[in-house]
Structure 1
Amino acid sequence: MNATVNESCISCGLCADTCPAVFHMGDDGMAHGGEIPAEMLEDAKTARDGCPVGAISIEE
């Protein structure tokens, strides 16, 4: 499974704070996702659901 962050990202950092195993803030100031370890799926979904602009997608 992978998490992606689209161009709607406002660089709030909430996803990286909620699930740092999957999300990080890049040198461009934007959030970036990645592969979701099975044990982190619920945290990744919490980050997705908490995104204020709905910029996160999880591909299962």
Structure 2
Amino acid sequence: ADALIALDEGDDDAATDLVKIAVGQLFRDAGVRPLRYSHQGQQYSVVDAAIHEFQHWGSMPWE
């Protein structure tokens, strides 16, 4: 919980690492691969994409 609060408050580096570790473990426990490929064939991480969206949620255009 502290890592998510820090991530939301802008302490990006340390919080991002902690959240990546926790979410990565959740994916492994669920048997889900976090790496995906876009329709253009580029590899990306669902974990990284979710963290990025969480960090930038407040600056979305509808706000």
TM-score, normalising length from structure 1? Answer: 0.30
Q: Which has the higher contact order (CA 8 A, sep 6+)?
A: 1
Larger proportion of strand: 1
Between Structure 1 and Structure 2, the one with more helix by share is 2
